[in-house]
């Protein structure tokens, strides 16, 4: 294979990279490390935003593959129109499973057990005891049952939940049980005590959690979003939160970052974390292993893994 490989990490910090490729380090800086026209494999800088991700794409006329370091690829969608037919778009399936699943469980437990209230009480020296919900015996609905959704269920098992229902774009069967299609959501939502959103952002899922979706939730249900902010209609969620009927734990929001004056910050029953599902100590070793494996295939002319779209 000929052509440059653009990496958001220095090549000498990634064990197992194949010889024979020209590696260029670029992590979103104003100046490009080389002529974008010579880039054959582009690894998108992580968490630098869509503007940075897309900026070199119009000039990458020799490109053969775009690799994201996120499970979602929505931040590069606007740049795909610049790419020639045959360019493959690959995601980071497997890189964020552990971190995002950990955070999902953290948000669920913190919300149910009232950890934010305890922290506020500690700051004031107040002993805020009382009866709190447990995760045990709850019905959990996972919307977006891919690798991360499966990892979340792995971590739910020891908590003695009553039932886990699984939803994905299309129906299938797993060792743990059936995966329902999105069209089954209306009948599944009323039974759920905890709804976890981990679905990718697509035309089909944008605004999926609207007023009708939320109205089907039982009183006291907890909505957890570790997917993408625009999956949820923020205005509809605010109305439900302000009524006190449901609670929410959000690692992603719409808009994002959430402006300081946004009413979601002060809404009752909401816990917000600043999109930290992926960036943990687990990220770098998994990301580097993925890149080494992908580029070994690329150098050998073998099919790439994690291909989610091929430009037609």
Q: Judge whether residue 1 has pLDDT over 70.
A: no
In a shared domain, residues 143 and 227: yes
In a shared domain, residues 133 and 238: yes
Q: Residue 2's pLDDT band (boundaries 50, 70, 90)?
A: confident
What are the pLDDT digits (tens) for 194-248? Answer: 999 999 999 999 999 999 999 999 999 999 999 999 999 999 999 999 999 999 9
Mean pLDDT of the chain: 96
Q: Cα angle at 262 between 261 and 265, to 5 degrees? A: 100
What pLDDT sits at residue 123? 97
Mean pLDDT of 147-166: 97
In a shared domain, residues 68 and 29: yes
Report how many domains make up the chain: 2
In a shared domain, residues 240 and 116: yes
What are the pLDDT digits (tens) for 64-101? Answer: 999 999 998 999 999 999 999 999 999 999 999 999 99
In a shared domain, residues 195 and 70: no
In a shared domain, residues 165 and 266: yes
Q: Judge whether residue 163 has pLDDT over 90.
A: yes
Q: Judge whether residue 141 has pLDDT over 60.
A: yes
In a shared domain, residues 130 and 252: yes
Structural domain containing residue 166: 97-272
What pLDDT sits at residue 60? 97
In a shared domain, residues 120 and 256: yes
Mean pLDDT of 167-173: 94
In a shared domain, residues 80 and 101: no
What are the pLDDT digits (tens) for 18-38? Answer: 999 999 999 999 999 999 999
In a shared domain, residues 165 and 302: no
Domain CATH for 88: 3.40.50.720
In a shared domain, residues 106 and 227: yes
What are the catalytic residues? 275
In a shared domain, residues 56 and 142: no
Rounded Cα gap, residues 99 and 61, in angstroms: 35
């Amino acid at each position: 294979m000929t052509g440059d490989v653009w990496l958001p990490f220095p090549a000498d910090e990634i064990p197992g990279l194949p010889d024979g490729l020209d590696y260029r380090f670029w992590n979103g800086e104003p100046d490009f490390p080389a002529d974008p026209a010579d880039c054959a494999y582009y690894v998108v800088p992580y968490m630098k935003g869509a503007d940075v991700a897309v900026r070199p794409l119009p000039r990458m006329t020799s490109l053969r593959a775009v690799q994201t370091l996120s499970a979602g690829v929505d931040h590069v969608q606007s740049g795909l129109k610049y790419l020639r037919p045959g360019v493959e778009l690959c995601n980071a399936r497997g890189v964020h499973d552990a971190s995002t699943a950990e955070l999902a469980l953290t948000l669920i437990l913190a919300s149910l057990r009232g950890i934010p209230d305890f922290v506020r009480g500690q700051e004031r020296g107040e002993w805020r005891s009382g009866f709190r919900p447990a995760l045990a015996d709850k019905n959990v609905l996972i919307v977006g049952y891919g690798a991360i959704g499966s990892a979340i269920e792995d971590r739910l098992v020891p908590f003695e939940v009553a039932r886990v229902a699984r939803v994905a774009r299309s129906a299938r069967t797993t060792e743990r049980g059936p995966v329902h299609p999105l069209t089954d959501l209306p009948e599944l939502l009323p039974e759920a005590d905890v709804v976890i959103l981990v679905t990718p952002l697509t035309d089909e899922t944008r605004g999926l959690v609207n007023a009708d979706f939320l109205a089907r939730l039982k009183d006291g249900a907890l909505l957890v979003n570790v997917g993408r902010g625009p999956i949820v209609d923020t205005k509809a969620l605010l109305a439900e939160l302000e009524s006190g009927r449901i609670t929410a734990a959000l690692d992603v929001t719409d808009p994002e970052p959430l402006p300081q004056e946004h009413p979601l910050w002060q809404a009752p029953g909401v816990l917000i974390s600043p999109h930290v599902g992926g960036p943990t100590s687990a990220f770098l070793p998994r990301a580097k292993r993925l890149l080494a494996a992908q580029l070994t295939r690329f150098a050998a002319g073998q099919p790439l893994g994690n291909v989610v779209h091929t430009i037609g």
